[in-house]
Chains A and B, each alone.
Chain A
Amino acid sequence: MEYFLQQLINGITLGAIYGLIAIGYTMVYGIIGMINFAHGEIYMLGAFISLIAYLITTTIGGGSVAIGLLVALAVTMVFTALWGWAVERIAYRPLRGAPKLAPLISAIGMSIVLQNFTQISQGARVKPLPPVIKGGVTLMQSEHFTVSLSYLQIAIVLLTVALMAAFTWVITRTPLGRAQRATEQDMKMAALLGVNVDRVVSTTFVIGAALAAVAGLMVTLYYGVIDFYIGFLAGIKAFTAAVLGGIGSLPGAMLGGLLIGLIEALWSGYFSIEYKDVAAFSILVLVLLFRPTGLLGRPEVEKI
């Protein structure tokens, strides 16, 4: 029981991180119908930028952790969002209206470029960061096992929930969100009605990248090690999460992220840690077999 609870806590933390990345995938897919393969790399850039920003601010600011983290969070979101914007502008926008596979290949190319760019500019070695937020609360204690909830885990989950709330508010209540939803439903019609489609798509990429940046910062703090290759697997899993929840659906992305995180944590807790990626993908296949549009996805109606 204690063990299960601990895995549950770990899984939810992991799921929050995946969910934040998954939102970027699901939004971009919803609006322009492409798999943004470079999104995992954007998250990786976020992790690197946050590490750099944190180290610089603590050096200048005299080592205050709280200020360092807050500044790093803001700086990371801004710069990573800029990267996300630039990737869309360079590699995807010229391909709007091109055959369906063209943006996908361009995205894969972009992902290779970003990965190798980071490897060259920051070195291939793993970058370690000693724990920044220490301590936690002990929830339950038995003879064999102690269930603990670290402050970092609390912070990650709270921040994710806050971001989700803010994000949902933006999408459902603001003019920007309305334009976004309109573009998602019908790009051409939205353009005819005076929505600046290009700007909406850019904003989508910017928001997605900013959320991925937060995930990058969280992972840097949570695992304490990053390298230029982390974007690939996290990207695939987040995309899996998006598909699992029903691609194009925002609550679905969150739910999918949470599920993937839980599956991974429970699987590695109870079965084997080597096959945890296999477990996530197998669940995906099973879900798609019975609900081909994901858990919360709308069934696709095909008109002739």
Chain B
Amino acid sequence: MAATRSITWRGALTDAFVGGLVAAALALPMLGFRLVDSALALSVGFRLDWVLWAALVVFAGRLALNLLRMTGGLPDLRLGERLSARMGNTRHWASWAMIGFATVLPFLPFSDRSLVDKATMVLIYVMLGWGLNIVVGLAGLLDLGFVAFYAVGAYSYALLSTTFGWSFWVCLPLAGLFAAGFGVALGFPVLRLRGDYLAIVTLGFGEIIRVILQNWQDLTGGPAGISGIPRPTLFGLPFLARAPEGGQTFAEFFGLKFSGDHRVIFLYFVILMLALLTNLFTLRIRRLPVGRAWEALREDEIACRSLGLNPTTIKLSAFATGAMFAGFAGSFFATRQGFISPESFTFIESAVILAIVVLGGMGSQVGVVLAALLLVGLPEWFRELQQYRMLAFGGAMVLIMLWRPSGLLSSRSPTISLGGGK
């Protein structure tokens, strides 16, 4: 699209000039003036030089872009396509290499506690992305309230363990079941809706769950959340400096010197295992009748119906399955943090997870990993930049979408197709 139009010097300059002018007009109210709240009243401060800077930056950027286009030096926009085409042969290899790397990561010489911690965070989002991929990527249902199930999973583990003292490994499947149950209960009335209506209703449910968590003081602790959530154990061996009476700690059992790193690494492996489980499940279920029905439904609902498939049940199963994995991820999140509050389950989380799925290329499992690394991993490194982090995050979402509208790795076609397919 870019290379076909020839651009003259003059055109490039005018275009950049107009761009700069627009930027100045945009910046004038928001950057040029600043609201100052003093003790007396609100007043307005000036910083008109910022407007000039904004205009200059846009002018220069626009000019550089145009010149690049003129000389044909714009980087090949189809890099990703070629990459995914070539990945076709090596994809198998690449995924095994990634799994291998993920397995040895905590023991590599350069990895320390914070790196493993960040990797754990990324893996949570990978798992959530894979879970949502079932709903959005495979079944084609747009879910903007996925975080609701994540929250249900987290709160069910937190409540079960703090009230009844059940261990993480008992609660994990229960949390998944609860989340799936919620998925069915919420999904049942709304799954008749199509496309964007479904999106807004799921968004509404996400918000409802958060509001309830925030206001049901007796059960959820309200805005203060739940703290003191027990940590997981390895077959009953806790990761503590000193064992509770009559027990042994992990370090004692294996004759190691106690170190806080053990727990971090253990948590990392737990989430790696859970994430891989999600992946394996997705890869397998795609080939089962129900998985094929999901993909068929995504491609053409009317055709499905005329072949005697019941769209509601199929959608419901996809919804519940995705919710279950979100529930697993949620209870892992609760046990890792040791503290949860409604703050962690805002709409922005749903948006991030959806962005990971779409940026990755809907339905592509490797794409989800790449997108999670890009969207969650990178900003974790720039945590020091604090407020600019989210700005860059949103900007990255827009730019990646503009650069690769169908995701980093292009959308996958149905697993099974007739004639000439795979």
Contacts and interface: CB of A to CB of B under 8 A. Distances in A.
Interface of A: 29, 35, 45, 48-49, 51-53, 55-56, 59, 75, 79, 82-83, 86, 90-91, 94-95, 98-99, 101-106, 108-123, 125, 127-130, 232, 236, 239-240, 243, 247, 274-275, 277-278, 281-282, 284-285, 288-289, 292, 300, 302, 304
A106 B387 contact: no
Nearest to A98: B405
Contacts of B354: 105, 108
A102 B406 contact: yes
Contacts of A292: 192-194, 197
Contacts of B196: 29, 35, 243, 247
B199 A35 contact: yes
A128 B37 contact: yes
B44 A284 contact: no
Contacts of A274: 211, 214-215
B386 to A, nearest CB: 10
Nearest to B399: A109
Interface of B: 22, 25-26, 28-31, 33-35, 37, 41-44, 136, 142, 189-190, 192-194, 196-197, 199-201, 203-205, 207-208, 211-212, 214-215, 302, 347-348, 351, 354-355, 358-359, 362, 387-388, 390-391, 393-398, 401-402, 405-406, 411
B55 to A, nearest CB: 13
8 contacts: A79-B25, A90-B398, A105-B359, A106-B401, A116-B387, A277-B207, A278-B207, A281-B207
Contacts of A52: 29, 33, 35, 44
A44 to B, nearest CB: 11
A41 B307 CA distance: 44
A105 B302 contact: no
Contacts of B204: 236, 240, 281, 284-285
Contacts of B212: 278
A55 B208 contact: no
A197 B342 CA distance: 44
B203 A236 contact: yes
- Of the listed residues B31, B190, B390, the one surrounded by the most CB atoms of chain A closer than 10 A to its CB is B390
A51 B36 CA distance: 12
Contacts of B395: 109, 113
Nearest to A297: B197
Nearest to A97: B405
Nearest to B398: A109
